[in-house]
Chain A
């Protein structure tokens, strides 16, 4: 073969072919390079959010633009149509259904108004509407501190960043009325940057660290329970930590069982209120959902709250957590039947039978407690002294604490029926002891006839008996809702207009 040099010298056009041919190849390679760059930069746009918002963006609807499926399912927490046998998402007047509770909470705000909580969507609406938060107005401060807002929504994260934790807890409830306006949502549990689960409430972090546990080292599956345990727990307001501040504290230093928490309260001589009928120094259990769930078999097997209350669902080929947090009884197939291959009716029967049986013994304890309160009142009325009454009142405190720990805990009779039955049994024993000692005191005071069980067949009768003027309370509340709340809302709208939100895609 001849060399190229010779060929080109003989036929110069061959040189030109080689030259333009090489240029053509470079050109085509350039096109390929352009195509690679194009596909490579697609990746930057494929996984880009529609909206970029600030680190304390409290508005769920803004997050919802990036996560439409999660947001749409969260919106369903506004549904109030599901009623199970003992719970559900409908608003149920607990005092109406069980007027004995009016007596048990005499002297405490829960005797005024106690409704079963509706979905997360209503957190703000319902705390404004309950009689427990009173009707604050100019010159008339409300009965509750700002601490009551702590679990009500993502604005809490924002205000805590602005004012500090202590600053947030300080002051009366109405002073943050215009600040806390968005109901429980995205920022409460999620890191705004990575969307990872994030513990935002200092109460849980501090409580766990008091037990020697670092919450930040939790696994994802643990966080799917701990996110809920930020609020669904027993707590109290520590007023001694800082002057004039109701510091939200979980009483877990000694442990999380009903006895360990009680021993903690006893050790700091804590009392929620003095009972309006018996004058016993009472403890109010808030909602020890997490504490009781931890004693149950599902927890033992590693099941998280979210596994049943926000199970995975599939929509349009995409798997995600259902953010319609609700009773699993309304979603048996996605919640229970993922593990339990039984008929729906059979599974529901299992839940109801546990709930019914616990309700049965819980009611017995309630009756004993109502009686004990009125017998104690009779003892005081007939001239009993402090020394005689002190051990009895302590027993009443212990007994009702056990009742309340079970009654206030959402789903307790399903989450851990054996533990709950154990607690109620001890409660019944304390009530028995209290009533027996009361009989002795009453006899020494010359009261020989039994103290009759009061007529508390309706909420109205029970409230009248302990001197609650429901009509006036409701009237004041209506005025507050009509006059004060709209002013809060318009202030909030003005503030939220200033938040920085960047829309990457045209609206």
Chain B
């Protein structure tokens, strides 16, 4: 380890300016971490998804649905089969969302992608499995396994829980959590006092 650092060290005449520049580099990363609220992405709080304001239709339709009482975004949209897959998928999906949001490449109407559909379907079964495994269902439905594997729950339960179609402009008056100002309250106080 020490060897590696020694190899990376610049000659003495370079050290001072590079110390400053690399300090700025580290600081910039810290700043990015702070303003993008990166730490919140480790939590399951639905307000985290509202860090991107274009999620308002999804947030507010969920907030008015019965699922609000039992399930948050991550309960359905992130896999729960194992710990590694949980965070791998979350990171992968999160990076894709962040990239599209940064590039302003979001479509007017957001639809779920195939990978996401599979995750949601498995999570439907995770909670509502009893409904699929009961003897009743098997008795009524001869194509039981077919239905379970070949169809999605929402082919019939089409309004659950977000309604059918949500364009970015479908909830202009929704009261949703906002990321808020990046300037901390104490700093605002200091600035206001000077006036």
Provide the bound-state CA to CA distance between A18 and B22, in Å: 11
On chain A, the residues within 8 Å of B14 by CB distance are: 8, 15, 19
Is B174 a contact of A39 with CB atoms below 8 Å? no
- Cβ–Cβ contact B28 & A317, under 8 A: no
Evaluate contact between B6 and A3: CB separation under 8 angstroms. yes
- Whether the Cβ atoms of A319 and B21 lie closer than 8 Å is no
With the chains together, A3 CA to B35 CA distance in Å? 36
Residue in contact with A25 in the complex, picked from B25, B169, B171, CB distance below 8 Å: B25
Which of the segments A29-37, A117-125, A329-337, A338-346 contacts the partner chain?
A: A29-37
* CB pair A317 B182 closer than 8 Å: no
Do the beta carbons of A33 and B163 come within 8 Å of each other?
A: no
Which of A42-50, A246-254, A297-305 faces chain B? A42-50
**Which residues of the partner chain B approach A30 to less than 8 Å between Cβ atoms?**
28
In the complex with contacts A36-B102, A318-B170, A194-B175 CB distance below 8 A: yes
Q: Beta-carbon contacts of B42-65 to A below 8 Å, as 1s and 0s?
A: 000000001111001000000000
Question: Which residues from A are CB-within-8-Å of B163?
Answer: 319
A5 located at the interface, meaning its Cβ lies under 8 Å from any Cβ of chain B in the complex: yes
Task: Indicate if the CB atoms of B171 and A318 lie closer than 8 Å.
Answer: yes
A486 to B32, CA, bound (A): 63
B85 contacts the other chain (Cβ, under 8 Å)? Answer: no
Q: Would B8 and A4 count as touching, CB distance under 8 A?
A: yes
Residues of A within 8 A of B169 (CB): 316-318
A18, A23, A39, A42, most chain B CB atoms within 10 A: A39
How many residues of chain A have a CB within 8 Å of chain B?
Answer: 36
What is the size, in residues, of chain B's interface with A at 8 Å between Cβ atoms?
42
Any A CB within 8 A of the CB of B172: yes
Our pick among B29, B56, B176, B179 for the contact of A29 (Cβ within 8 Å) is: B29
Q: Which residue of A lies closest to B51 (CB)?
A: A40
Complex contacts, B170 vs chain A, CB 8 Å: 317-319
Asked whether, in the complex, the Cβ of A29 is within 8 Å of the Cβ of B28, the reply is yes
- Do residues A39 and B101 form an inter-chain contact, with CB atoms below 8 A? yes
B32 — which chain A residues lie within 8 A by C-beta? 29, 32-33, 36
- Cβ 8 A contact of A18, one of B10, B56, B176: B10
15 A-B residue pairs with CB within 8 Å: A9-B11, A19-B14, A22-B22, A23-B21, A26-B21, A33-B32, A36-B102, A39-B53, A39-B101, A47-B56, A47-B176, A317-B167, A318-B171, A318-B172, A319-B163
Additional A-B contacts beyond A1-B7, A22-B25 (10; CB < 8 A): A3-B9, A4-B10, A8-B14, A22-B22, A36-B102, A47-B56, A66-B173, A194-B175, A318-B169, A318-B172
> What 3 A-B pairs come out closest when comparing CB atoms?
A43-B53, A3-B7, A29-B28
